[in-house]
Structure 1
Amino acid sequence: MIEQPIQQQSVQQSFDFVKSGAIKTRKEPIGERKKRLKLMLQWISKNESKIKAAVYQDFKKPASEVDISEIYPVTSEIKHALESLTSWAKPKKIDAPLSLLGTTSHIQYEPKGACLIIAPWNYPFSLAIGPLVSCLAAGNTAVIKPSEMTPNTSILIEEMISDLFDKEIVSVINGGVEVSQELLALPFDHIFFTGSPQVGKVVMKAAAENLTSVTLELGGKSPVIVDERTDISDAAEKIAWGKYLNNGQTCIAPDYALVHENIKDKFEEKLTTKVKELFSADETKIQDSPDYGRIVNAKHYARLTSLIDEAVSTGAEILFGGDANSDDNFIPPMALTNVSMNSRMMEEEIFGPVLPIISYNNLEEAIGIINSKPKPLALYYFGRSSKNRKKVLKETSSGNVCINDCVIHFGHANLPFGGVNNSGIGKAHGYYGFLAFSNEKGVLKQRIGLTSTKSIYPPYSNFKKLVIRILKKYL
């Protein structure tokens, strides 16, 4: 399906265009930003079939899954921004402290300028266009670098942007790692990167050379705790959906399950049942299911099968999961038990349809396992105990937490989404995405003539020293 790409300008030209455009857009009224968002919404509505076809060609993602994970997140983000942008962008009055009596202050939200959006391959449409919504809502211009691993979707994004925007507003540059390196060397005003922690470090290092601010949406091993007191069937169904969505190629997919030893057998039984209900009662038929996608390419297929082989060779047992097929980059939904904590499976982010199940005896043990690893992007807790839930929230650190469900917090328009430390820097979506692409400029206005601060100007008489002492003591 890959069509001839639109003739691209050079990396430097793209940067120069959006840098020039950023000077113009900062002067525009909010209405111009809304017009761009509406144009995006209209284009997506008219071209849904193209989006589904492109993503399917890249890794056979089912059409309904494209609807819920590629199209809906973007359209809902646009609609939320259109409803809320006037309020978000309105200057916010700030109360003055007594020490600055007589002044007035406010926060003014100004666009950062020319921004770079580097998108990943796992959700190639939504994770490129979603950040663009926040970027344009905040009044910026952008260069988008889609993933070279999903070429059909990348070409479609280039077509979309060419249809909608002048190159001074948004440009798309397709290419490989060398293109990303060229882009990162340029002095953008903000970089929004979605990808692995390893590449995130490279991005942050490059940004530091130009003192460019960054939003890094990374990943890591997002754990799920299944407490002894929970609805096992409900938990198994939700975990199965969240884990095997998009073949497990989701940055917030449950990476491993910590299940209380008293319910482990029942949980494994229910998980097996729920996977059959989702995809096929016959494991050998899942490859034919229209509701199950593929691994993105042979490289990632080989990485995943290597993780599985190494885990099995060190004692892990396959609970369920039929044969993989390298010709089709097909790996069925799998779950492993008795996985060694020292295996690569428990050290690396899996990013595929394989769920290690680890039993624990008490909550302290589960928390200890989580805290022994870098801070994850998400943490999931299934259970009825308010005490245990509060303990998990207090004693672990993660970008987000979802209780009695998984993955769905990504779609909550009013929640900040993002990681912490190894799993990311900065927040996105809705108002928080608007803030990520905005400079919160503090503005203070002082009265002319006599002011409270003049009472502490030199020369420092005894009276002024008294005023300073009172200021320190009481204010």
Structure 2
Amino acid sequence: MSISDSTSSATDTPLADLPATLQRLRAAWQAAKPDQAQRRDDLLRLRAALKRRLPEMADAIAADFGHRSRHESLLADGMTVLGEIDHLLRHLKRWMRPQRVGAGWRLWPARAEVRPVPVGVVGVIAPWNYPVNLALIPLATAIAAGNHVYLKPSEHTPRTAQFLQSLLAEVFPPQRVAVALGAAEVAGAFAALPLDHLVFTGSTAVGRKVMAAAAPNLTPLTLELGGKSPAIVCADYPLAQAAARLATGKWFNAGQTCIAPDYVLIDAGRSAALVQALRAQVLARYGDFAAADDYTRIVNEGQYRRLRGYLDDARARGLEVVELARVEPERAERERLIVPTVVLQPGDDALLMQEEIFGPILPLRSYRTLDEAIALVNGRDRPLALYPFSHDRAQVEAILHATVAGGVTVNDSLLHFAANALPFGGIGPSGMGAYHGRAGFDAFSKALPILWQSRWAASDWLKPPYARIARLVDLLLR
């Protein structure tokens, strides 16, 4: 099974080592399941090591991308991870407590509880776009739940993968956290391991392959996929503010974000004004792109060519393609630099409306009524994120009632991902399951039901001959 189209390298983990490593992790977990003190200590040491090595992390990510805004790396791959670890530490004691539940009068005087217990070894297949965030947040959550972890970082960010391997080796012994390096063959074999839970973040197409590889083992999955996440700008919402918040969501990390606004639906007659407001945002944020140190480049040549292909297709269809900044073509090719770009009124047949864009290209389509906008959203697969923009609560509620999405930020974009208490996950083709905060702790735990029987129990009567309790049963069934 091909999980990616990358070639292997000399640093690839030998395929024969994968099951042996899993066996080592599971045996160590079985021999000494982490208690609360161990989990807290692990999280604290991981936090301290990551915080100390943040400059090294940012350098590794920048080297993999060709250029990645240092501030974006520190925010998205540093601060967000540290914040999630803090949230886990703050709530871990309470989450670990067994929950007393009623056993029902028929089982009196028995007591019942639900106890969260770790599942064993959690596998994590991390992507390249936020290569530390999307590796360490599920890893830290699995550790908080009392598991051991087997991590497979993305081969598209090899320096960051090596950084993660070094960081985790500093914090954890190899029998508790292990890292597998490699490309397609390694990723396919990793997904086929009999893990106790597997987290995958990536495209829907690859997610289907991961699910197929995991199916023979019935491995429980959390799939964080993608799709075309829409923004709906209603007629009452100020365009300047909409442009500012869309610009952050779309051009942070040069749009290489699974929950970036993929296209915008704008009320008829305001699309030209929105383009001008977006142009003003580009100028205010990046100037004339003479250096563009705060603007991230496209991660590799394959992704760059794919995005250029969308623009070529749009121009071939006669669509209006508006580049909101200008750079020399030679520089753009050399640096894999695609400036913020808007495509006006693309039809459903345009390539950029058929696939998740995952780059700094923003299609704008007009709608006449809110019902029309909702129908456009519902005519596609259920998205990973949805962004309604309106100060009219009734309009927002109408959108939320009529659509289904993995998550929602109202009057902004991206930010529901950063709310530690909110579960993060998709639905349908955009994913299954969720993690972050309590949702992640629960996902990587088994809710173990336990009934504590008393010295005397009604069950002592549940045996033949039943004639002696026939009248009681008859009364209970009335």
Q: Provide TM-score, normalisation by structure 2.
A: 0.93
Which of residues 13, 29, 40 in structure 1 aligns to 2:35? 29
CA shift, 1:81, in A, is 0.8
Structure 2 contact 406–427 (Cα < 8 Å) conserved: yes
CA shift, 1:13, in A, is 2.7
Q: In structure 1, what is the equivalent of residue 304 of structure 2?
A: 301
Structure 2 contact 107–457 (Cα < 8 Å) conserved: no
Which of residues 306, 315, 320 in structure 1 aligns to 2:318? 315
Alignment of 1:402-417 (within 5 A): 402-417=409-424
Count how many residue pairs are aligned between Structure 1 and Structure 2. Answer: 463
In 2, Cα distance between equivalents of 1:450 and 1:385: 58
In 2, Cα distance between equivalents of 1:109 and 1:454: 32
Q: In structure 1, what is the equivalent of residue 440 of structure 2?
A: 433
Structure 2 contact 12–186 (Cα < 8 Å) conserved: no
CA shift, 1:309, in A, is 0.9
Q: In structure 2, what is the equivalent of residue 110 of structure 1?
A: 117
In 1, Cα distance between equivalents of 2:18 and 2:284: 48
Q: Provide TM-score, normalisation by structure 1.
A: 0.93
Alignment of 1:304-343 (within 5 A): 304-321=307-324, 322=326, 325-343=332-350
CA shift, 1:186, in A, is 1.6
Which of residues 132, 152, 167 in structure 2 aligns to 1:145? 152
In 2, Cα distance between equivalents of 1:24 and 1:258: 55
Q: In structure 2, what is the equivalent of residue 473 of structure 1?
A: none
Does 2:178 match 1:171?
yes
Structure 1 contact 101–452 (Cα < 8 Å) conserved: no
In 1, Cα distance between equivalents of 2:374 and 2:463: 53
> Would the alpha carbon gap of residues 15 and 360 (structure 1) be closer, same or farther in structure 2, given more than 3 Å must change?
same
- For 1:36, the aligned partner's letter is D
Q: In structure 1, what is the equivalent of residue 366 of structure 2?
A: 359
Task: Give unmatched runs, 5+ long, in structure 2.
Answer: 1-9
CA shift, 1:5, in A, is 6.0
In 2, Cα distance between equivalents of 1:455 and 1:290: 75
- For 1:48, the aligned partner's letter is L
Structure 2 contact 13–181 (Cα < 8 Å) conserved: no
CA shift, 1:414, in A, is 0.5
Alignment of 1:64-83 (within 5 A): 64-83=71-90
In 1, Cα distance between equivalents of 2:182 and 2:338: 28
Does 2:247 match 1:253?
no
- For 2:477, the aligned partner's letter is R
In 2, Cα distance between equivalents of 1:355 and 1:169: 43
Q: Deviations over 1:345-387 (max 9, x none)?
A: 1110000000000000011111111111111110001111111
Structure 1 contact 100–453 (Cα < 8 Å) conserved: no
- For 1:41, the aligned partner's letter is R
> Would the alpha carbon gap of residues 358 and 415 (structure 1) be closer, same or farther in structure 2, given more than 3 Å must change?
same
Identity of aligned residues (%): 34
CA shift, 1:468, in A, is 4.3
> Would the alpha carbon gap of residues 156 and 100 (structure 1) be closer, same or farther in structure 2, given more than 3 Å must change?
same
Partner SS for 1:290? coil
Task: Give unmatched runs, 5+ long, in structure 1.
Answer: 471-475
- Please report the RMSD computed on the Cα atoms of aligned residues, expressed in angstroms: 2.0
Partner SS for 1:254? coil
Q: In structure 1, what is the equivalent of residue 55 of structure 2?
A: 49
Structure 1 contact 316–337 (Cα < 8 Å) conserved: yes
Q: In structure 2, what is the equivalent of residue 289 of structure 1?
A: 292
Which of residues 343, 346, 354 in structure 2 aligns to 1:347? 354
CA shift, 1:201, in A, is 0.9
In 2, Cα distance between equivalents of 1:426 and 1:7: 29
91-100 or 248-257: bigger deviation: 91-100
Structure 1 contact 120–147 (Cα < 8 Å) conserved: yes
CA shift, 1:456, in A, is 9.2
Structure 2 contact 109–457 (Cα < 8 Å) conserved: no
In 1, Cα distance between equivalents of 2:255 and 2:346: 18
In 1, Cα distance between equivalents of 2:463 and 2:237: 63
